[in-house]
Chain A
Amino acid sequence: MFGKGLAKGLGITFRHMFDKKITEFYPEDMPTLPPRTRSSLALNTPKCISCGMCSSACPNKVITLTTDKNESNKKFLTSYHMDLTRCLFCGLCTEACPTKALYTTTEFENAVYFREDMQWDMMQRYRDKVASGEIKEEVKPETKQEEAKDNG
């Protein structure tokens, strides 16, 4: 009969008027994202062994890192830079990382006002995080700290 389907649709919408709403009140209630969420990247500097696997795994050359060698011919990181404007957030770099020094985080508020703010100095970000107490600094081998001091 004509109108039956219409009435059924009206019934469905009417029922939903009193259903629980699924709106998330975002800035007030921050969503809890699952731990695997790939919404941001972070580097745990002490864990990094400066192998450059992340850089070569990246499809878009987001990551540029410079390394130096100390007296005992061991590589250490001098700069680690990510150009977020080109990042696909594909996660290939974190998968490639052998020590999981580079990892994805669930921070998703990555919007910035200026293009330059998309250029991330990952080592600085790590230091900022440690300073703000967000993560604990890993205990580094004694020798490494001294080496860092020596290099300035």
Chain B
Amino acid sequence: MPQYGSGLFVSIAHLIRGLFGGTTVTADVVMTVINSLIIWALIALAALSLILLERKVAGWMQLRTGPNRLGPRGWFQTVADAMKLLGKEDIFPAAADKWVFGLAPMFVIGLSVMVMAVIPYGKGMVPVDLNVGIFYLLAVSALTTIPFFMAGWGSNNKFALLGGMRAVAQMISYEIPLVFSLLGVVMITQTFKMSAIVNAQSHVWFILLQPLGFVVYTIAATAETNRAPFDLVEGESELTAGAFTEYTGMRWALFFLGEYANLFIVSAVAATVFLGGWQGPFLPGWIWFAIKVLFMVFLFLWFRWTFPRLRVDQLMHFGWKVLLPLSVANILLTGVGIYIYQLIYPAIGG
């Protein structure tokens, strides 16, 4: 396995592997444990920093400074908030469906961990490089509907129920354009493997080949993460806090964590699939990856702090009647494009 210039983390991983005898089962198990610990840490880190970033960006856009009290320029604010949430009372509503209500937040975070396992963070830095990587990612993130529904139902609260219903309806409608928008890239690369998709972009980023796919993906991903202008699940102006109305303390914080982990995931997928992943000159791959993810995150934050919210039927209308045809058209165009390309360069494709 040539790992030239692959950077710090890969070397560390090799070192640890070497300690346990290279490719033995023990080494595999140890690496899996370490990888999952890293992913957990990454989720916590991503959520904490993204929450702060969100508040800072929101502040700047609104002519405020954002959090500015704790630590240098307020950079420790979310840490303090997390501590506060940890210390809060965990309230179960009397009429709640205890098991469903209690398990929902854990599923949110569990699914995020499952998804984050297949993202290529840098050259050779894919915790699990599945053959069906991107498809696995979509399949698992489709399951994120369930915890939202569980939260909405389990709370036994009318606002929460409406929020849960919206979550389900919204995710079902946006899952399909999301999948289809990524299919164009899959058609070009002929693989679902995340690392192969990144490798295929060493010359040209797929945002240039798939601009329509990128646009559709960005919109669908905004809806998938329940962020404005598609934040109907929370919809605070009509549903107070939607599906999370009854949640308190750490359980609520887990939802929050899940939301930002999801934000990170969709940004990471966009960076991987459309922006060339960790490819880039001079800097190590994982730094390039971080830069691209931050760019996507900023895009989502920017949308959130500029746009009002769509109505639920407009959201459905937009998803089914605008995005879906667009994404199908994208697939068609890509197919035609590949066909023409193959006529010119018969070598490519299978």
Contact = CB atoms under 8 A, between A and B. Distances in A.
B68 A25 contact: yes
A22 B63 contact: yes
Nearest to A21: B65
Given A23-B64, A23-B65, A25-B68, A17 B306 contact: no
B92 interface: no
17 contacts: A6-B306, A10-B302, A13-B302, A13-B306, A16-B61, A16-B62, A16-B63, A17-B60, A19-B63, A21-B60, A21-B64, A21-B65, A22-B63, A22-B64, A23-B59, A23-B65, A25-B68
A86 to B, nearest CB: 34
A14 interface: yes
Nearest to A22: B63
B68 A9 contact: no
B302 A14 contact: yes
Contacts, number: 37
B320 interface: no
SS of B interface (majority): loop
A56 B307 CA distance: 53
B200 interface: no
Contact of A10 (B57, B59, B306): B306
A108 B201 CA distance: 62
Contacts of B60: 16-18, 21
B124 to A, nearest CB: 36
B20 interface: no
B61 A17 contact: yes
A20 B302 CA distance: 18
Contacts of A9: 306-307
Interface string B36-59: 000000000000000000000101
